[in-house]
Structure 1
């Protein structure tokens, strides 16, 4: 995990860097509270990571009665700008959806970081993954979410699509 921590911080620094000051958070919490997934480029360097929980306590506004707990929640996701558009983000989401589905989750949610210059691209990426806004036009108000079965099809997990 220490190697992954340093690699995650390096990826984060490529996009403005906030995690260097959270080094204790990364080493103390990741892998304990959250499941961590990393994706590497062909040279073996980490170019993205996803921190999620497949047994999450979600805010009520992120849940749906038709999808009882356990819930899957993406807490953080970063992909290096040099690796975007090459499948790194999709690989991370596919892996997390596979783990969440195996854990019995039927619903996945996240609160996207808004206000970035690449916000439109981020929201388009999450839409390709099958996620949709819970509050029309306000992705950070209600978050983004979807039934896991819809994401399995959108992401072609296990050749489902």
Structure 2
């Protein structure tokens, strides 16, 4: 059985391992607990028994805008509705907190997940790449 929890407890190594699997990189030693407890509206954990199998962070502006970040589901649990349930729990919690908008951005291959499965609608948005390889504007 899978349990979903808004602001559920987790250990940093669990989310670091999930993030590494989801974004195909070596595990890091990020302080996820410190980051989300200081800066986020909340987060959702998904556990099968005691194992963390999913996570989504819900950042916000402190008022009416919330942002879905880092939707992660372990490979073994993908395509079983875990991600959809994580996002649905985040939607409900952001609404209950008084947020009026929930934003998400994603890579093109995730469009069916967010639009068809989670109910997001396409909208215009802008992006400036701030990495070291990004073009500089003067």
**Aligned position for 1:49:** 55
Taking the TM superposition and a 5 Å limit, the aligned residue runs for 1:116-155 are 119-120=108-109, 122-127=110-115, 128-135=117-124, 141=126
Change (3 A) 1:3 1:105: closer
Q: How many residues align?
A: 117
| TM-score with structure 1 setting the length | 0.62
RMSD of the TM alignment (CA)?
2.5
| Structure 2 stretches lacking a partner, 5+ long | 1-7, 128-138
Larger fraction in strand: 2
Q: TM-score, normalised by structure 2?
A: 0.71
Residue 74 of structure 1: CA displacement?
1.0
Unaligned runs of 5+ in 1: 58-68, 143-161
Structure-to-structure mapping, 1:27-106, within 5 angstroms? 27-34=33-40, 35-41=42-48, 43-53=49-59, 55-56=60-61, 70-106=64-100
Partner Cα distance (2:85, 2:52) in 1: 13
- Give structure 1 regions of 4+ aligned residues with deviation exceeding 4 angstroms: none
